[in-house]
Chains A and B, each alone.
Chain A
Amino acid sequence: MSETLVFYLLSGLAIVASALVIGQRNPMYSVLLIIASFGALAGLYIQLDAPFVAVAQIIIYAGAIMVLFLFVVMLLNAPQEDAADWDRTHPLRRPAMARVGSLLALLLVVQLAWALISASGMDAPVGAGGAAAEIGSVRALGRVLFTDYVFAFEATSVLILVAMIGAVVLARREGES
């Protein structure tokens, strides 16, 4: 019973925090709220017997990526979303366009709900098959990562290098050679 309670608590926290992220005008609060959302998701990963993913979520997402976002928010010092004149007269603000957009959004929600309702096997309790210790251990994870997925793993390191060089080149001030 307590497992169910923890699940609803964590998923509710994740959903509410994410909804508040897109409801904020100040990106500073958005970044802080999304860290709460990621923490709740890390709790859900622990419930799914994936403790290593949960720790990586906290360290990489909440620790590294969100600190990067915070740095940029502070660096640019543009806290408020600017509402210029041309923003209010934007073509997407016209009532007809807004109606079409709302219709498409409603369609997406209906499609997602329909897919979830009509799919089979949704009521099977997760984790009924397969031992938790088998897939939850770092040993099993590392063995698969460094044998079956070794090429993708090495390609990832090249991707990180390219991203690092790209970020340095893009963020450099113009005029410096």
Chain B
Amino acid sequence: MIPLGHYLFVSAVLFAIGTAGVFMRRNLITILLSIEIMLNAVNLSFVAFGRQLGTVDGQIIVFFVMTVAAAEAAVGLAIVIALFRHRESLNPDAFTSLKW
């Protein structure tokens, strides 16, 4: 039997990797992928806690997270395509028109 803390540790490491990706990478697609890594890290915590408490609620929340992730990916990638048509670049620093 694996202790709960080990699952939470894996989850924390994955979340930290996702956060680092959002800040380090200068590519909109990789940034979206890093957000997916963070969502998956939280999903792992939900399933582990749900298993620990003996309820299915953790798994239910994971389904909703997956749905929101799918919607977010669809809209986010559509925005990336629209931005690429404007600037011919995927670098987030290229889109500074709204910057004060």
- Chain A interfacial positions (CB closer than 8 Å to B): 3-4, 7, 11, 14-15, 18-19, 21-22, 24, 27, 30-31, 34, 37-38, 41, 44-45, 47-50, 52-53, 56-57, 60-61, 64-65, 68-69, 72-73, 75-76, 78, 81-82, 84, 86-87, 90, 101, 105, 108-109, 112-113, 116, 119, 121-131, 134-135, 140-141, 144-145, 149, 152, 156, 159-160, 162-164, 166-168, 170-171, 173-174
Contacts and interface: CB of A to CB of B under 8 A. Distances in A.
A127 B59 contact: no
Contacts of A56: 62-63, 66
B38 to A, nearest CB: 10
Interface residues of B, number: 72
Interface of B: 1-10, 12-21, 23-27, 29-30, 32-34, 36-37, 40, 43-44, 47-48, 50-57, 59-60, 62-64, 66-75, 77-82, 84-85, 89-91, 93
Contact of B51 (A30, A101, A135, A171): A135
B93 A90 contact: yes
A49 to B, nearest CB: 6
A61 B79 contact: no
B50 A81 contact: no
B2 A126 contact: yes
Q: Is the interface of A mostly helix, strand, loop or mixed?
A: helix
Contact of A15 (B7, B13, B71): B13
A65 B36 contact: yes
A168 B9 CA distance: 39
Q: Is the interface of B mostly helix, strand, loop or mixed?
A: helix
A81 B71 contact: no
B53 to A, nearest CB: 7
Given A34-B33, A56-B63, A121 B4 contact: yes
B33 A44 contact: no
Contact of A22 (B10, B21, B69, B85): B21
Given A38-B40, A144-B57, A50 B1 contact: no
Contacts of A156: 64, 67
